Structure 1
Amino acid sequence: MVKKKEFIIFFLLFLLALFFVYIYNNITKAKDDIFDRIENHQIEQISSILKNIEKDILDSAEIKSSKDLFSLFNDENMRESYERIISLMLTSNVKYAYILYKDEKDRFRFLLDASKTDKAEFYQKFDVTLSEYEAIYREKKPQIIKQHDIENLYLTYLYPIISNGHVVGLFSIDITTNIQKIILESIKPLETFFVVLIIFILLLMAMTIMQIFHYFVTRKKIFTDTLTKTFNRNYLEEISSMLNLEHYSLAMLDLDKFKAINDTYGHKAGDYVLAQASRIFKDSIRDSDILIRYGGEEFLLLIHNRNDSESNIDICERLRHNVSKEHFYYDTNEIKVHVSIGLHKHPSLEKNIQEAIKIADGMLYIAKKNGRNRVIAYDELEHAKTSSSASSKDISYVKEALDDERVLCYFQPIYNHKSGEIFKYEALVRIVSKNNTVISPMQFLPQLKHTNMHYKLTQRILLIVFEKFRNNQKLVSININFSDLMNPDIEEMIIKNLKNNHHLASRITFEILESDEIDDVELFKQKINLLHSLKTKVSIDDFGSGYSNFKTIIDVEANFLKIDGSLIKNIDKNNKDFRVVKSIIHFARQSNMQTIAEFVHSKEVYEKLLLLDIDYMQGFYISAPEASLVEREELFKTAF
């Protein structure tokens, strides 16, 4: 967020500048007020004298017109007499005093000049360009001409000589004074001081503005991802403490099969897809929403909960749809891009934003596991749960269950329809709550993704299965993630229990999620080869939901392909799914792998799979998972 210190400094400097401007303005006003008072006093004195002289002139010669006035002063004796009278006005403050009039051609001429120096001759032409000289004839009242030399406060006072309602002539008095100059010289240093001070403060303000501008420019670089032009993790850290989650929903976005794009078309193509997809993201959200590149191809979206008709689900679906319909072309290759989204509708209910992100990330994990290119919302999962324990369980809940030994396995049979026998069982994790309610994995596994608690849970499941099947002849499958295989503790546990017990190892199948993102294919092959060396079997789980790298699957020599339930569940209604499953079965047989169909939930699906001659089936139509091993006679209870 914006640095507060710079803004506070700028604000204080701004107030200080206003204060000094206010003082400077008041000093200037005070100076002008003093000058005005002095001027008005002088003009009042001079005006009073001129009024008396005017009366004397008009009365003594019975002046009726400007010609009469000219005739009066054409008399040298009369002119000298009035010059002596008017010259009494001349002081150090009044330099020039004369009488003017207009001749027949409207030219101003001197009738009398009482000045001590630089005297004008009688009837000498007086060149004038100032409008006040004409205005006095129109307005018939005194005019003041302020000169530009303000330091000497030089002004000219024009006083009309009026007879019979007409201006017949005018007095022109030039006034100057040293008082104004003394005042000005006294105030000048103070004015200069404040001017310098104001300039200094303005410079400081400019420097502060430059710092703020530099901060915003730097901030943009620090908080913006260079490739996608969205915010980055630095920005999330910056705003986390100030973010009110009550105003937002939180979504995690991830481009599906992005690694496959990099591997197939190169990293430049991957960068192009990221840049284009982020552009679509930004075009699909509102100005009040916040988009952050969280890492790699994963984005965090904070959806502002505004009071409008558009819900957070609507925004996520629009975003997903806009990405899916877009055509991405790179070097003449069209790249199809989809996005999976995990949404937490009410992140404010969590302890902090990181906890909310974990839950949204868990929803994203489920979206990918369920076939990708979809939106999974936290609230929707809540409503879908049939367990009496309806809330999602966090890491501490699972830890407590492990400590209390309330983690157990349910077992669902995998059926061989050709022999009518149970081929093997799949071990499925469950937690028993303190009130003896069974908690499904959907409520706690997403929160454990990539955490140490997930690995501890996997170790407990392995231990339970190894103990249960150590001394019987039945076969069992165990789900395991690629990240589990990378964990040294889990690897050590598998080797310890199976290396010298081929009887147990030969009856165990490790089901590896095909939908898991496998960053290092060679390392993945090494880990699968390790399982083969222990005499266990390997099954590719959820085949068809992920990238389906056929070459990799052939290279690891998997024993089974378990076809993803999203392809099986509608096979009786969707002819496209039927053809896809048929192709997978053909591919598996050509690669010496047996096939297993999960999610066989109805008689119609079961009979469709019989037509395809799949090897094995698994689902609630055949049998639900149970705490104990179901026997052959207990199968197909729901079918009757």
Structure 2
Amino acid sequence: MDDGVILKLLLFANVVSLVLLSKGIYDLVKNNELSKRILTYILLFIYFIGFVYIENMLLEKGLKDYVDISMLISVTFFTQLAFIFILITNKIAKTVSNNDEIEVITNKVKIYKTLIEDKINNGDLFNLTKIKIQNYRTLIEYSSDKTFNSILSYASLLVKKHRNDRNVSIFYDTNEIIIIGNLTNKDKINNIALEVYELLIQPIKMKGKNFILQPIIGNVIYSNDIDNADEMLKRVDIACYKAKKLGLVIDFYSENYAQSINDEVDILSKLVHAIPNKEFELYYQPIVNSIDKTLHGYEALIRWPQKDGSMIPPDKFISIAEKNNYIKGITQWVVSQVASDIIRLKNDNLNFQVHINISTLDLYDDDLYNQLFDMVVNKHLEPSSMILEVTESALMSDVDAAYLMLSKLSELGFYISIDDFGTGYSSLSLLRILAFNQIKIDQSFIRNMAVGNSDYAIVASTIYLAHSLGCNVVAEGVEDEHLFAELQELGCDYVQGYYISKPQDIDSIINWSLKLIEREKMSAIA
């Protein structure tokens, strides 16, 4: 074979080998650290300079400078060998990194569930920690799914390096990081979780941008009552949910809280059918004049009896109804039922106002207003027969919207009462801005009047302030004669509580009221 053929074969092999290496070279240029990128650019420069010279020499001199051409071909081959070396070391580094730190795998869930199952079956003592990134949707919108996945991968790597324990397994998936450890001491787990939290809230720089994570961390320690991985994962999810609901960043699973969640799910499933099946009932608690105990009105209180004779109290189901958008339907039912019961009361000459509790959500759309407007215009409801009670905290969630709605209701002729007064944070500003007719002092202040000087002072000053603004005052939670006498002395207008009467259904409250009025008449005659 002559020298020309050999040179051409060498040149062809040179080009083919570069093509085969092109994907790896592209990855080096695109993804690696600065030092490898610079080295790659230098080698590419050397290669192409050498290749251009080979072509020129072949064209100009033919095979005369065979030795020089061979040397240049050797140079280009050496640059390719350098590329191969860099690619191999880079691949090894990636493999070591993945095996030793975080392995990016598609079946992550299956892997860590299997690992948890193995530990349970072996009777190992271990802990499970889940880190949920609360703002992951915002981060995805700000960047992309791919970028967020890189952020989560990097965050997992930070956690792994921080733990620096070969017995700890770490996985990431979607918007969470899973840590399977070998700890059983709650304090130690909590301390490590705090360190991890502090680590993860530091800005993470990715593609020239700073990203701030908002992690919530849930923890669970394996116990003998856990039979499988699903139960372990369910418990760590409950721990995360508990932390979020309580406004914490770290928390542990607790059986009591898990039971409360189960109860919440049970109540929610029952709420779906409660209104269509007419399961709710209204009870009425009387409100009397503090001077002579004459009847002034009633507060309508919702009750939810169960088939087994038990009762689900309002403080259990109202908040669940609010969170799941059932409260509007409940309020509409209450208003409608109260309107019907007012007619029954009037038929017995019991022309007293009925207080109705209004939810926060009812203040911020027109459904309630439209219902009341229809009752006034088309069904001849007297607005003054109802007092709408709104809690101070509900008003404070959006003062402007509350002001607009209460103004409209007041113009329609309804009385407005601020319920649980004193439990909010901006009571004086509320009094200055909102139109209302009455203040109800929260029962927590009333019940502690006898033992707390500060509570007594709050009640006294609230009564004075309300009277100065032309409003009357109702004291809730009056349980005994001593409290009644103190409120009477302070000039409180009306009282409500078990000292007067417990809440009763409509038939019972009518009978109770008629007997009270009869006694009043007998006392007047005597």
Match of residue 203 from structure 1: 90
1:464 to 337, 340, 343: 337
Structure 1: distance between partners of 2:221 and 2:418: 45
1:501 CA drift (Å):
5.5
Match of residue 299 from structure 2: 426
2:363 to 485, 489, 501: 485
2:194 to 286, 296, 302: 286
Structure 1: distance between partners of 2:365 and 2:152: 39
Match of residue 219 from structure 2: 304
2:311 to 433, 438, 444: 438
| Mean CA deviation greater in 409-418 or 574-583 | 409-418
Does structure 1 residue 455 correspond to structure 2 residue 363?
A: no
- The code of the aligned residue for 2:219 comes to H
> Which runs of structure 2 are paired with 1:619-638 in the superposition (5 Å)?
619-628=497-506, 629-630=508-509, 631-632=512-513, 633=515
1:355 CA drift (Å):
12
Does structure 1 residue 417 correspond to structure 2 residue 290?
A: yes
1:458 CA drift (Å):
1.3
Q: Is the 8 A contact 2:287 2:295 kept in 1?
A: yes
Structure 2: distance between partners of 1:451 and 1:408: 21
1:523 CA drift (Å):
2.6
Describe the shift of the 1:286–1:199 C-alpha distance in structure 2 as closer, same or farther (beyond 3 A): closer
Q: Is the 8 A contact 1:502 1:535 kept in 2?
A: no
SS of the aligned residue for 2:330 comes to: helix
Structure 1: distance between partners of 2:516 and 2:281: 22
1:428 CA drift (Å):
1.1
Q: Deviations over 1:31-77 (max 9, x none)?
A: xxxxxxxxxxxxxxxxxxxxxxxxxxxxxxxxxxxxxxxxxxxxxxx
SS of the aligned residue for 2:396 comes to: coil
Does structure 1 residue 557 correspond to structure 2 residue 494?
A: no
Describe the shift of the 1:615–1:378 C-alpha distance in structure 2 as closer, same or farther (beyond 3 A): farther
- The code of the aligned residue for 2:414 comes to T
Describe the shift of the 1:200–1:220 C-alpha distance in structure 2 as closer, same or farther (beyond 3 A): closer
Q: What RMSD over aligned residues (CA atoms) do the two structures have, in Å?
A: 4.9
Does structure 1 residue 602 correspond to structure 2 residue 493?
A: no
Q: Is the 8 A contact 1:450 1:483 kept in 2?
A: no
Describe the shift of the 1:604–1:360 C-alpha distance in structure 2 as closer, same or farther (beyond 3 A): farther
Match of residue 509 from structure 1: 387
Q: Is the 8 A contact 1:469 1:504 kept in 2?
A: no
| Mean CA deviation greater in 585-594 or 191-200 | 191-200
Match of residue 219 from structure 1: 151
Describe the shift of the 1:596–1:417 C-alpha distance in structure 2 as closer, same or farther (beyond 3 A): same
Structure 2: distance between partners of 1:291 and 1:634: 68
Match of residue 238 from structure 1: 175
1:424 CA drift (Å):
0.9
Structure 2: distance between partners of 1:476 and 1:300: 47
Describe the shift of the 1:392–1:432 C-alpha distance in structure 2 as closer, same or farther (beyond 3 A): farther
1:460 CA drift (Å):
1.3
SS of the aligned residue for 1:540 comes to: strand
Q: Is the 8 A contact 1:482 1:518 kept in 2?
A: no
Q: Is the 8 A contact 1:236 1:292 kept in 2?
A: no
1:392 CA drift (Å):
6.9
Q: Deviations over 1:266-297 (max 9, x none)?
A: xxxxxxxxxxxxxxxx999734679999xxxx
- The code of the aligned residue for 1:304 comes to N
Match of residue 584 from structure 1: 462
SS of the aligned residue for 2:382 comes to: helix
Match of residue 339 from structure 1: none
Q: Is the 8 A contact 1:544 1:563 kept in 2?
A: yes
1:477 CA drift (Å):
0.3
Match of residue 136 from structure 1: none
1:438 CA drift (Å):
2.3
Q: Is the 8 A contact 1:560 1:593 kept in 2?
A: yes
1:484 CA drift (Å):
0.5
> Which runs of structure 2 are paired with 1:118-267 in the superposition (5 Å)?
197-204=84-91, 219=151, 238-239=175-176
> Which runs of structure 2 are paired with 1:510-529 in the superposition (5 Å)?
510-516=388-394, 518-529=396-407
Structure 2: distance between partners of 1:476 and 1:292: 54
Pick the structure with greater CA Rg.
1
Match of residue 404 from structure 1: 277
Structure 1: distance between partners of 2:297 and 2:241: 38
1:493 CA drift (Å):
1.1
Match of residue 536 from structure 1: 414
TM-score by length of 1: 0.45
Does structure 1 residue 615 correspond to structure 2 residue 493?
A: yes
Match of residue 570 from structure 1: 448
Q: Is the 8 A contact 1:484 1:490 kept in 2?
A: yes
1:510 CA drift (Å):
0.2
Structure 2: distance between partners of 1:592 and 1:611: 19
> Which runs of structure 2 are paired with 1:286-365 in the superposition (5 Å)?
286-287=194-195, 301-305=216-220, 353=237, 357=241, 361=245
Structure 2: distance between partners of 1:392 and 1:194: 65
Q: Deviations over 1:16-44 (max 9, x none)?
A: xxxxxxxxxxxxxxxxxxxxxxxxxxxxx
Describe the shift of the 1:430–1:350 C-alpha distance in structure 2 as closer, same or farther (beyond 3 A): farther
Q: Is the 8 A contact 1:360 1:378 kept in 2?
A: no
1:577 CA drift (Å):
0.4
Describe the shift of the 1:390–1:192 C-alpha distance in structure 2 as closer, same or farther (beyond 3 A): closer
Higher helix share: 2
Describe the shift of the 1:465–1:290 C-alpha distance in structure 2 as closer, same or farther (beyond 3 A): farther
Paired residues, what number?
Answer: 340
Describe the shift of the 1:429–1:218 C-alpha distance in structure 2 as closer, same or farther (beyond 3 A): same
Structure 2: distance between partners of 1:421 and 1:238: 62
Structure 2: distance between partners of 1:194 and 1:573: 89
1:582 CA drift (Å):
0.6
Describe the shift of the 1:217–1:459 C-alpha distance in structure 2 as closer, same or farther (beyond 3 A): closer
TM-score by length of 2: 0.54
Structure 2: distance between partners of 1:284 and 1:574: 42
1:219 CA drift (Å):
1.5
Structure 1: distance between partners of 2:314 and 2:151: 43
> Which runs of structure 2 are paired with 1:262-281 in the superposition (5 Å)?
none
Describe the shift of the 1:611–1:500 C-alpha distance in structure 2 as closer, same or farther (beyond 3 A): same
Structure 2 gaps, min length 5: 1-26, 28-76, 105-145, 157-171, 185-189, 202-213, 223-230, 248-253, 518-526
SS of the aligned residue for 2:459 comes to: helix
Structure 1: distance between partners of 2:330 and 2:436: 25
Q: Is the 8 A contact 2:392 2:420 kept in 1?
A: yes
1:436 CA drift (Å):
3.5
1:360 CA drift (Å):
7.2
Describe the shift of the 1:505–1:445 C-alpha distance in structure 2 as closer, same or farther (beyond 3 A): same
1:301 CA drift (Å):
4.9
Structure 1: distance between partners of 2:264 and 2:480: 29
1:217 CA drift (Å):
10
Q: Is the 8 A contact 2:479 2:499 kept in 1?
A: yes
1:591 CA drift (Å):
0.4
1:306 CA drift (Å):
5.3
Q: Is the 8 A contact 1:413 1:426 kept in 2?
A: yes
- The code of the aligned residue for 2:504 comes to E
1:457 CA drift (Å):
1.3
> Which runs of structure 2 are paired with 1:19-58 in the superposition (5 Å)?
none
Describe the shift of the 1:460–1:357 C-alpha distance in structure 2 as closer, same or farther (beyond 3 A): farther
Describe the shift of the 1:205–1:222 C-alpha distance in structure 2 as closer, same or farther (beyond 3 A): closer
SS of the aligned residue for 1:443 comes to: helix
